[in-house]
Amino acid sequence: MRVCRGGADVAARTRRRHGRIRRVTVTESAPAAPPAAPVAAATRHRVVIVGAGFGGVACVRDLVRDQRLDVTVIDRNPYHLFSPLLYQVATAGLPEDDIAHPVRAAVRGARFRRAEVTGVDPDQRVLTLADGSTLAYDTLVLATGSVGNDFGVPGVREHAMQMKSLPEARRIRHALLRTYEEVAAGTRAPAALHTVVIGGGPTGVEVAGAVAELQRALSREFPELRGQAEVDLIEMGPRILPTFTPASSRHATDALRRMGVQVMTGSAVAEVTDVDVALADGRRLAAGVVVWASGVSVPEPWASLGETAAGGRLRVAASLQLRPGIWVVGDMAYAVDGRGRPCPQQAPFAMQGGRHVAQQIRRELDHQPPTPFRYRDKGQMATIGRARAVVELPGGLRLFGTPAWLAWLALHLAYLAGTRNRISVVGDWAWNYVAWSVGSPRPLTE
């Protein structure tokens, strides 16, 4: 693994030197500085974790057990979001409360502050918050995740919808449901019932399948519009689910097509407008709703804190340290697995990284050297629709169809935070399973 400036090797070197930390700008090389001083008995070491997502929560849960630490978690939202189920909120399968868990309940033992972090001064070890206040730390853990990346495609920002947050999922749901009302009322053309999903990764596949099922359910409520709704899934590469085996990609493609989704591979998007999506080969697809599920990047101010890899991910040392006093976990960290491949921007990498960094912080207080992070591959899975999914486990075990879907349900329930949420999701899923074919499964509030 490539060791970035300010990484563990630098930390070890500077620890020997006992130098003073210098102010760092984006273009400077690594600061020669010691890690935060060991705590005196009366002064607890201040750890600040930015981001209460998968990485941040895993880290804080491990840290709060150490009495030497004073742990503060900061997040712009007061809830921990279970993003793997966002697409079900976007397609009216689950109410949004089911996938949001109060951060304060998730990080008991730590202080929680709801705030937007806008800057960091790594020399002074101070964070700046959006309200203008500052917060000092001894050790900082960055776990702010990623944001959608439009790759500069014209019109994406204005006319396509990303799905990284609850408000964005809510917006998609509103757009999908409102379009039916507007077309039925004659205020919009029937072509607006076409939905285009861009990006054939797991999120795009899940959204496309769920939209197809929603369209089928809505055709019972809007019989006059039956047969007019469509969903297209567009992927630039030669196959959908590119990180899965070709067999899983084929299975997903066939299953989606049977559900009525037009799967278009090898199709690059050139532009998105308010009425259609233009492909690089000149075709134009009518679209009332466009969902952009194609790639993520790390936002400012974080990307300027160190050397970056693809998608703006911060290159970290083997221990996940960015520079003395700063650790990075989750989507924003670029680390490699045992075979030299980039660790995936997925929840298991974030959680494992969070726990590893918690261990490193304690080791540092004990004057022990850092240890390298080892990513444990948990496999990958994508749901395609009800009773349809693909699962690939380490060791080559593959599941398709209903067994895969049941495994997907069990795993998502296990990782969902909060007993209330689990019970509620099970209830909603059970009802939906029955209701998709006979009744009205979706939450009716808009």
Ligand X SMILES: Cc1cc2nc3c(=O)[nH]c(=O)nc-3n(C[C@H](O)[C@H](O)[C@H](O)COP(=O)(O)OP(=O)(O)OC[C@H]3O[C@@H](n4cnc5c(N)ncnc54)[C@H](O)[C@@H]3O)c2cc1C
Which residues are at the interface with ligand X (CB under 6 A)? 50-56, 74-77, 81, 83-84, 86-87, 116-117, 143-145, 163-164, 202-203, 330-331, 345-348, 350
Beta bridge partners of 102: 79
User: Which among 352, 309, 2 is positioned nearest to 143, based on CA atoms?
Assistant: 352
Q: Which residue is nearest to ligand X (CB)?
A: 53
Task: Report in angstroms how near the CB of residue 3 gets to ligand X at its nearest.
Answer: 21
Nearer to ligand X, 84 or 200 (CB): 84
Give the Cα separation of 179 and 176 in Å (integer): 6
Task: Report in angstroms how near the CB of residue 384 gets to ligand X at its nearest.
Answer: 13
Cβ–Cβ < 8 Å for 206, 93: no
Q: Position 56: which residue type?
A: G
Task: Report in angstroms how near the CB of residue 203 gets to ligand X at its nearest.
Answer: 5
Radius of gyration of the chain (CA): 23
Nearer to ligand X, 169 or 236 (CB): 169
Is 206 part of the annotated catalytic residue set? yes
Tokens of 185: 């009322």
Give the Cα separation of 377 and 443 in Å (integer): 36
Look at residue 71 and give its three-state secondary structure.
Answer: strand
Task: Report in angstroms how near the CB of residue 168 gets to ligand X at its nearest.
Answer: 9
CA distances from 322 to 109, 307, 334, 350, 357 (A): 26, 9, 10, 15, 11
Q: Which residues of 358-388 are buried (b: 16+ CB within 10 A; e: fewer)?
A: bbbbbebbeeeebeebebebbbbbbbbbbeb
Helix, strand, coil abundance in the chain, percent, nearest 5 = 35, 20, 40
Nearer to ligand X, 192 or 332 (CB): 332
Tokens of 391: 């699962």
Task: Report in angstroms how near the CB of residue 266 gets to ligand X at its nearest.
Answer: 24
Using a 10 angstrom Cβ sphere, with 0-12 exposed, 13-18 middle and 19 or more buried, the burial of residue 210 is buried
Tokens of 365: 């207080």
Catalytic residue among 96, 206, 235, 364: 206
Task: Report in angstroms how near the CB of residue 108 gets to ligand X at its nearest.
Answer: 17
Q: How distant is the alpha carbon of residue 36 from its chain centre?
A: 30
Give the Cα separation of 38 and 42 in Å (integer): 12
**Strand residues in 168-275 grouped as ranges (E):** 194-198, 230-234, 261-264, 269-272
Name, in order, each residue with C-beta under 8 angstroms of 189's C-beta and a sequence gap of 6 or more. 183
CA distances from 412 to 311, 329, 441 (A): 27, 21, 20
Nearer to ligand X, 7 or 199 (CB): 199
Task: Report in angstroms how near the CB of residue 20 gets to ligand X at its nearest.
Answer: 29
Give the Cα separation of 168 and 147 in Å (integer): 12
User: Which among 116, 106, 58, 110 is positioned nearest to 80, based on CA atoms?
Assistant: 106
Nearer to ligand X, 218 or 347 (CB): 347
Task: Report in angstroms how near the CB of residue 295 gets to ligand X at its nearest.
Answer: 11
Task: Report in angstroms how near the CB of residue 74 gets to ligand X at its nearest.
Answer: 5
Nearer to ligand X, 77 or 424 (CB): 77
Nearer to ligand X, 203 or 297 (CB): 203
Nearer to ligand X, 77 or 228 (CB): 77
Residues with catalytic function: 206
